[in-house]
Amino acid sequence: MGYSAADERFTHQLPRPFDELHHPDGSWSDRCYFFVHAPDGSLLVTSGYGNNPNQGRSNAYGKVALGDGRHWDLTAGRRINASDQHELATGPMKWTCLEPLKRWRIELGPNESGIEWDMEYVPRAPMWELLPMHVEVDGRTLVDMYHMKESGLYSGWVQIDGERISLDGFPGGRDRTFGVRVADELDFWLWLDIGFEDRSFQAWVIESHDGTVQYVDGGITHIDGTLSKRFVKIDHEMEFDGDRKRPTKTKMVFTDEDGVEHRVTGEAPFPHVNVYYGQPLEKMTVERPENGGYLVHYPWDSTNREDLVAVEERAMSIDQLMHFECDGMAGHGIFEILSGGAGPAKYPNWPVMDMTAFRQKPGGE
């Protein structure tokens, strides 16, 4: 396309028009992620939006999980160009930065999926800006991106099959990512956002099949505005729900650059409160708006083994809401596992997968 209306704004950072990026890989994305959970861990809502300029597409999702096993999943997308990438909306979903670095509004309007929401996010601790992320395998760049993580509080509501639940004061967090991330070719990562009363642990470690660390960073953000030293090592052990992919317990040791160790344990008192990312179930409902987009939604129940097996067979990652303890503190947070490529040898519950389907657009496009 070349020069566009976006180029009339004096915000360039490269000697190229806005529709050209620093890397041609199709995974190049500019995205956001938000999560909020009930204080007792019985409800989890996640929402995210991303632009993939090299594909000329956006993609978005909204997911809800309850402690009784009920889940609702919705994904959507549309065509984009350099002039409308600032419009963080697709289908019934919309993300609005109300005040930079301070307030976001996340909306899911009326639709046929069974879930709606209108919520606002504000930070409760400073953001953690991760060190530049760069991972190469056999000379090929799999990760080259910027990433930030931030703990926060929510207000607003979520509606589930007609029942409206207040989110006022519920904890959660968000992140922002932009750059190259060929997630389906990375063997393993562990992404963490753990909220305690006066601080949060923000961390990410990426490892190869044999456990070799390819990237690690993170730290502790305090609500008084202070930051800890950076983590330089993260040791982890996990237990799983039988042969399932969802984790039930974990032990972790976070070591910072001064050699100080922080020992954290986690367990999932509500094992059904999680969301999976991957291909949708075959029983999905697909809607195709006239603008060339798509909207996919499906409810499922993780107490139904047939549903659970079908979802996990299609899953590349999971966000498990867990209860954590550290030095007498207790809290909740996201324990995210991703497995692509050759998978992690240490955790056979996440076997090697054929990731071809994950390179296809949702909704069969």
> Averaged over 157-181, what is the pLDDT?
97
Task: Read off the pTM.
Answer: 0.94
pLDDT of res. 266: 98
Q: How confident is the model at residue 360 (pLDDT cuts 50, 70, 90)?
A: low
pLDDT above 90 (res 168) = yes
pLDDT of res. 65: 98
pLDDT of res. 357: 63
At 112-123, the pLDDT tens digits run 999 999 999 999
- Distance (Å, rounded) from C-alpha 218 to C-alpha 221? 9
Amino acid in the structure at residue 232: V
pLDDT of res. 26: 85
Distances in Å between the Cα of 215 and the Cα atoms of 73, 133, 139, 346 are 31, 7, 16, 17
**Could you tell me how far CA 362 lies from the centroid of its own chain?**
17
Amino acid in the structure at residue 107: E
CB-based contacts of 342, cutoff 8 Å, min separation 6: 187, 208, 209, 352
Asked if residues 327 and 198 have their Cβ atoms less than 8 Å apart, the reply is no
pLDDT above 80 (res 11) = no
> Averaged over 167-196, what is the pLDDT?
96
Phi, psi of 195 (to 5 degrees): -105, 120
At 201-253, the pLDDT tens digits run 999 999 999 999 999 999 999 999 999 999 999 999 999 999 999 999 999 99
pLDDT of res. 21: 86
Q: Is 239 helix (H, G, I), strand (E, B) or coil?
A: strand
